[in-house]
Amino acid sequence: MSSATERPTSGLDAPPDGVTLPELDTPRTQVLLAIADDGLISGHRASHWTGVAPSLEEDLAFSTIAQDGLNHADLWYQVVLEADAGDSPAGVDALGLGRRPEAYRHAVICERPPRDFAYTLARHWVFDRFEAVRLAALAGSSDPAVAALAVKLRHEQRYHLEHAELWFDRLVGGGDEAVTRFHDAFADVLPEALGLFEPVAGEDAAIADGLLPVGHRKLREQWLEGAAPRLAQAGFGDLVPADDAAAPEDASGGRDGRHTDDFVVDVWPEMTRLYREHPGARW
């Protein structure tokens, strides 16, 4: 009886009248969807803390980070659509909310529930260091729209990184409980975070034409170059991923649309419900 079973099993639901969407399986679109979807899903999980964060300051921080994640995703979808900013809300909704779960290209680590604050902060630190190196690379994109947006977003993303770094220092310099819980959180986060660095389909072509000047595999080296010394200095050197380590099987494949129940059963149905039940709704 579920209407979902009547829909196509992959890709995009039929977009609303008047909305024309580009081919989704081009290298350009696949790369941009990975960037946008990482932000969208991370943002949804960050919004978990709105109203229930351990302090007012953290409530504001994670609510703003969530808002930034969703809005940055919106802007990347506009780049996919090659539209002027703010010009294509229906197209953005079709991309952000109108795809089947297997058409999303975010890494699995982004869809994990926030668990406790230690886990949230460990993932925040790992993810925002990753976003920082990726945005730095995209700022040199051969695609002017991609480069301009990356330059703009770097100004804003620095706040996320600074927030994550302040908490990193505070917790590793804290008492035994803080250090132990943060260590345990990183033990969960770091292996799964390797899924962030898996390439999307057609990535080699996007690297070759300069759209993505540094591919995800290479971004992993850049990320590790910065993260490994910080982790070692904090006494977490045992957790630094080996150069040849791969993400665990169930945290791998997000870039190809393989997602876990944390997304398929938890985030996706709630995130897309209004869009699916009220086609063409505006908000």
Partner 1 sequence: MDTRARVDAATVRRAVAGVADPELPPVTIGMLGMLHALTVTDAGDVLVELLPTYSGCPATEMIARDVRAAAESVDGVGTVTVRWRFDPPWTPDRIDAAGRAALREFGIAPPGGPLPDAPRPSGPDRSLPLAVGPTTSASEPPVPCPYCRSRDTVRDSAYGPTPCRDLRYCAACQQPFEAFRSR
Q: Name the residue with tokens 């196509």.
A: 8
Residue 44 binds partner 1 (CB under 8 A):
no
Query: How far is residue 88's CA from residue 78's CA, in Å, rounded to a whole number?
Result: 7
Mask for 155-184, x = binds partner 1 (CB under 8 A): xx-xx--xx--xx-xx--------------
Burial of 281 (0-12, 13-18, 19+ CB in 10 A): exposed
CA dihedral (177, 182, 185, 191) in degrees, to 10, reads -140
Residues that contact partner 1, how many (by CB under 8 A): 38
Residue 68 binds partner 1 (CB under 8 A):
yes
3-state secondary structure of 195: helix
For the segment 139-158, give every residue that binds partner 1 (CB under 8 A): 144, 147-149, 151-153, 155-156, 158
> Which residue, among 36, 135, 39, 132, has the nearest Cα to 81 in the 3D structure?
36
Nearer to partner 1, 58 or 102 (CB): 58
Query: How far is residue 64's CA from residue 13's CA, in Å, rounded to a whole number?
Result: 30
Mask for 240-269, x = binds partner 1 (CB under 8 A): ------------------------------
Whether 63 and 129 have beta carbons less than 8 Å apart is answered as no
Binding test (CB under 8 A) with partner 1, winner from 12, 24, 75, 246: 75
Minimum CB separation of residue 135 from partner 1 in Å reads 12
Tell me which residues touch partner 1 (CB under 8 A).
54-58, 60-61, 63-65, 67-68, 70-72, 74-75, 84-87, 144, 147-149, 151-153, 155-156, 158-159, 162-163, 166-167, 169-170
